[in-house]
A and B are shown apart, each in its own frame.
Chain A
Amino acid sequence: MTDTTTRGLIPLPLPAARALLLAGGIATAASAFLAWTWTSEFPGDLTISGYPGGLQWLTFIAGILSTLFALAAYGIRGLSGLIPARNNAPLVLTALGAFGVTWYTIVSIAAELGGLANLEPGGWVAAIASLLPVIGAFALPEPRTASAKENLKAYLAKPDGIPPAQPLSPWLERAIITIATIVGLAVFTYGIDTEYGELFVGFLIVVVFGVWALHTAGLNDRFSRIVARNRSFTLAMGFAAAIAFPFTQSNDHYANIGVNILIFGTVALGLNIVVGLAGLLDLGYVAFLGVGAYTAALVSGSEFSRFSGVHFPFWAAAITGAAASLVFGVLIGAPTLRLRGDYLAIVTLGFGEIFRISVNNMDGQSGPDLTNGPNGIPAIPDLNLLGFNLGQAHDVAGFTLGRFANYYLLMVLIMAIVVLVYTRAADSRIGRSWIAIREDETAATAMGINGFRVKLVAFALGATLAGLAGTVSAHVTYSVVPTPYQFAGSTPPNSAFLLAAVVLGGMGTVAGPILGAALLYLLPEKLVFLQDKSLLAFGIALILLMRFRPEGIIANRRNQLEFHETGQLDIPEQTTLSGEPAAVTKAGA
């Protein structure tokens, strides 16, 4: 067997393969305008010819993406910049994305309406049209080896060195960031607004393959270089997009999802200090959210609160909640942080459960009368900030902002504070000592770092931020009860989901945990048809992600190198660690 020939998996000449890609992409996009089924029973109404609906929009977009990449592969002027890596992977991935979303739609029509007879000719056209680019993509020439696995991998591979782009003018760079933010907001808003599970699955297929294609094409690398040069501008754009979100929503239900994602994301970012920076595995973190929420509820003026006469203004309640969490963080951290690794994880897990069970029992019978036990503290009044009642809808510049939209904007403010705290703390003496502790605790203490103390600061800071988020969450949900503050459950927030959000999104990054939180909140929310199997599906998805991208969706430079030993990413010279003689590794300390 010859092992260095370059030919496609499917024997077709190169011009034919490219023509298939292009024609198939166009045909897929066009097929979205046909009627795919005869009845509007399938959600999204796919019966209209001449106009795409529901999932057909996703097929259309995937088809267009596929076409664009196919044109770029032809070297069309102005589009060739789409694939700076000059590889086939983006073509393969966009083709697979279009194929995936179309066939998913066809199959779910057949499955839900009971048989293939429910397909109109348009559906068949779409199925065949979306298959063409996949055939074309796998006919593209790639180096062949003896192993079938390697052959397939070659089609998804991203070359290591992406040639740097020609320098752009600062204005152009900012324009690119602005456009990317707007596209990102549009994609995110679309994902939140998906009205039925099928649409969300289709959305996920298109987004996953689309982002993957952009990544392998090398566009992510180029974009992150631009971001690195315009860091504060990007941050500002990110918050502008976050503020713009409720104005794009007509239904307050989606603003509710938004505010919950923000609360979840803020807490995940706080946990990221503890886990991502200081490397302390905390499995009971949700308890600090609970401390903040209960504290805020107790001083909210709710008539069911133990201190029903006490009604703090929000700023005071927020400080009280954060301070209470801080105290609990120190109380729990002081005895436990002397432990390392697995032992710390076990002890924090225990403390997390102790919080929930204590709160459950403090009803005046099994324990002191403080939290009303399982009934919790209901009827928490809405916040009133500067004479602005967050519980009522307000008209702002022609847009109606409902209750949840108000809280959403308040949470954006809190998240801004948390992001600021995170970035500033990470890039400082204390942040460096956290990372040093995570990298090698013995060496760090030998460098004069008081390990226990800096770990306690990380733990307490994380707890404080979670408590701060908790004070808002108590008001958003009207009531606080002990049940959400558990280790694992099917809906966020709970400690397992928080940790998953951090790890999945990317430890040690700002955007990672927020993205992870958004995904983990939306999945159970949107995929209700999975019902009791959602945790199973979620577990499988996590395992797959950890197998193929252990550094998380958004990789921190350090972690990327940690998990991919050979990755020399941005080091100019190809210097590798010359192997230390294995014999001389006596315990140095």
Chain B
Amino acid sequence: MTTPVLEARNVTMRFGGLTAVRSVDFTVNSGEIVGLIGPNGAGKTTFFNCLTGLYVPTEGTVTYKGTVLPPKPHLVTQAGIARTFQNIRLFANMTVLENVLVGRHTRTKEGLWSALLRGPGFKKAEKASEERAMELLEFIGLEAKRDHLARNLPYGEQRKLEIARALASEPGLLLLDEPTAGMNPQETRATEELVFAIRDKGIAVLLIEHDMRFVFNLSDRVAVLVQGEKLVEGTSDVVQADERVIAAYLGEPFDGDPGATEAQSTTGTKGEAQ
């Protein structure tokens, strides 16, 4: 059942003397929701960029369904990995529908000639693309706003639209980079539902997130990245109980310090640590 969708082996990313990601092994299985957490500057986004071809890892390989991914973002998307961005990167001056249609790019192939000649094939493909895009807009609940410019959407809907745009490329794995950043609790819960719904479509999800409740609610497995290295990986309970994770977020408690008792007392709510 659990066939690996994404396998990162020994991925290392160095920028000059700085090692942002150090020998990370990482697997996402089909139908899984995996969380990737870590303090700020731990290398989560760098690791993401290694997976999506924006960076070429200094060492190591990333394979998707058994084939090594080419280090070009568009080929990675072509292969079946779609992503969203931490700071929303919609095409602000395109309409909601156009944004999703751009996401369809890899799954259509009408080139310049067919656009100029406008044969029956072109019209059929455009119509099919539009139908598919409208299905996705209905899925995220934005079908009524198809002709609005993306920049005019409220923040939460922009996040949703970015997910719809990523889904339009019919991915086998969806990478979400902080999908709830800047959201209020209601919007966060709605996003949770959305991620489950995406998983139910048979798409594996990998997410970076700082909202611990969100991550631990959603994820089948959570990996913790600290200073470029993978510290722990396991189910929510295992990770939440791990001393090293707490230490990474809150610092090491040590004897004789007034903070020690406080650190002890926070263990009950450690999952909230942000």
User: Chain A: residues with CB nearer than 8 A to chain B?
Assistant: 420-421, 424-425, 427-433, 435-436, 439-440, 442-451, 457, 461, 558-559, 561-562, 568, 571, 575-581, 584-589
Cβ-defined contact, A589 with B152, below 8 A: no
* B182 CB within 8 Å of chain A: yes
Residues of the B chain whose Cβ atoms lie less than 8 Å from the Cβ of A584: 86-87, 178, 181-182
Cβ-defined contact, A577 with B112, below 8 A: no
* B165 CB within 8 Å of chain A: yes
Known contacts A430-B111, A432-B102, A580-B155; is-contact A448 B54 (Cβ 8 Å):
no
Cβ-defined contact, A447 with B85, below 8 A: no
Cβ-defined contact, A446 with B155, below 8 A: no
Closest-CB distance, B41 to chain A (whole angstroms): 9
Closest-CB distance, B48 to chain A (whole angstroms): 8
Residues of the B chain whose Cβ atoms lie less than 8 Å from the Cβ of A562: 93
Contact partner of B89 (CB less than 8 A), chosen from A440, A448, A568, A576, is: A440
Cβ-defined contact, B110 with A429, below 8 A: yes
Contact partner of A425 (CB less than 8 A), chosen from B49, B92, B112, B148, is: B112
Q: How far is the CA of A424 from the CA of B181 in the complex (A)?
A: 39
Q: How far is the CA of A562 from the CA of B91 in the complex (A)?
A: 12
Cβ-defined contact, B115 with A577, below 8 A: no
Contact partner of B116 (CB less than 8 A), chosen from A425, A432, A451, A558, is: A425
B92-133 residues at the A interface, CB under 8 angstroms: 92-94, 98, 101-106, 108, 110-112, 114-116, 118, 122, 125-126, 129
Q: How far is the CA of A165 from the CA of B152 in the complex (A)?
A: 25
Residues of the B chain whose Cβ atoms lie less than 8 Å from the Cβ of A586: 40, 45, 86-87
Residues of the A chain whose Cβ atoms lie less than 8 Å from the Cβ of B169: 447-448
- 14 further A-B pairs in the complex, CB-CB below 8 A; given A447-B165, A584-B87: A424-B116, A429-B125, A429-B129, A435-B91, A436-B91, A440-B89, A442-B89, A446-B52, A446-B83, A461-B112, A558-B149, A580-B88, A586-B40, A588-B86
Cβ-defined contact, A587 with B45, below 8 A: yes
Closest-CB distance, A388 to chain B (whole angstroms): 28
Contact partner of A558 (CB less than 8 A), chosen from B93, B114, B125, B178, is: B93
Cβ-defined contact, B115 with A429, below 8 A: yes
Closest-CB distance, B161 to chain A (whole angstroms): 12
Cβ-defined contact, B177 with A588, below 8 A: yes
Counting contact residues on chain B (CB < 8 A from A), the size range is 35 or more
Cβ-defined contact, B77 with A448, below 8 A: yes
Contact partner of B153 (CB less than 8 A), chosen from A445, A577, A580, A585, is: A577
Residues of the B chain whose Cβ atoms lie less than 8 Å from the Cβ of A457: 111-112
Q: How far is the CA of A576 from the CA of B152 in the complex (A)?
A: 6
* B234 CB within 8 Å of chain A: no
Cβ-defined contact, A442 with B54, below 8 A: yes
Residues of the A chain whose Cβ atoms lie less than 8 Å from the Cβ of B158: 577
Residues of the A chain whose Cβ atoms lie less than 8 Å from the Cβ of B89: 440, 442-443, 446, 588-589
Known contacts A421-B116, A444-B102, A561-B93; is-contact A577 B154 (Cβ 8 Å):
yes
Residues of the A chain whose Cβ atoms lie less than 8 Å from the Cβ of B92: 439-440
Residues of the A chain whose Cβ atoms lie less than 8 Å from the Cβ of B108: 429
Cβ-defined contact, A440 with B91, below 8 A: yes
Q: How far is the CA of A264 from the CA of B89 in the complex (A)?
A: 37
Residues of the A chain whose Cβ atoms lie less than 8 Å from the Cβ of B49: 589
Cβ-defined contact, B88 with A430, below 8 A: no
Residues of the B chain whose Cβ atoms lie less than 8 Å from the Cβ of A447: 74, 77, 82, 102-103, 105-106, 165-166, 169
Residues of the B chain whose Cβ atoms lie less than 8 Å from the Cβ of A581: 181-182
Cβ-defined contact, B115 with A443, below 8 A: no
Residues of the B chain whose Cβ atoms lie less than 8 Å from the Cβ of A444: 91, 102
Contact partner of A448 (CB less than 8 A), chosen from B74, B88, B111, is: B74
Residues of the B chain whose Cβ atoms lie less than 8 Å from the Cβ of A440: 89-92
Q: How far is the CA of A559 from the CA of B125 in the complex (A)?
A: 28
In the complex, per-residue mask of B58-86: 1 if CB is within 8 Å of any chain A CB, else 0: 00000000000000111001100011011
Q: How far is the CA of A575 from the CA of B154 in the complex (A)?
A: 7
Residues of the A chain whose Cβ atoms lie less than 8 Å from the Cβ of B103: 447-448
Residues of the B chain whose Cβ atoms lie less than 8 Å from the Cβ of A430: 110-112, 115
* B213 CB within 8 Å of chain A: no
Q: How far is the CA of A279 from the CA of B111 in the complex (A)?
A: 19
Contact partner of A450 (CB less than 8 A), chosen from B74, B129, B181, is: B74
Closest-CB distance, B116 to chain A (whole angstroms): 5
Of B73, B90, B126, most buried by chain A (CB within 10 Å of CB) is B73
Cβ-defined contact, B152 with A575, below 8 A: yes
* B151 CB within 8 Å of chain A: yes
Which single residue of chain B is at the shortest CB-CB distance from A435? Answer: B94
Contact partner of B115 (CB less than 8 A), chosen from A424, A436, A449, A580, is: A424
12 contacts between A and B (CB under 8 A): A428-B110, A430-B110, A430-B115, A431-B115, A432-B105, A435-B98, A439-B94, A440-B89, A447-B165, A448-B106, A577-B151, A589-B54
Residues of the A chain whose Cβ atoms lie less than 8 Å from the Cβ of B122: 428
Residues of the A chain whose Cβ atoms lie less than 8 Å from the Cβ of B125: 429
Contact partner of A561 (CB less than 8 A), chosen from B83, B110, B151, is: B151
Residues of the B chain whose Cβ atoms lie less than 8 Å from the Cβ of A559: 93
Q: How far is the CA of A444 from the CA of B83 in the complex (A)?
A: 11
Known contacts A445-B74, A448-B105, A558-B93; is-contact A425 B115 (Cβ 8 Å):
yes
Cβ-defined contact, A446 with B93, below 8 A: no
Cβ-defined contact, B105 with A429, below 8 A: yes
Closest-CB distance, B174 to chain A (whole angstroms): 12
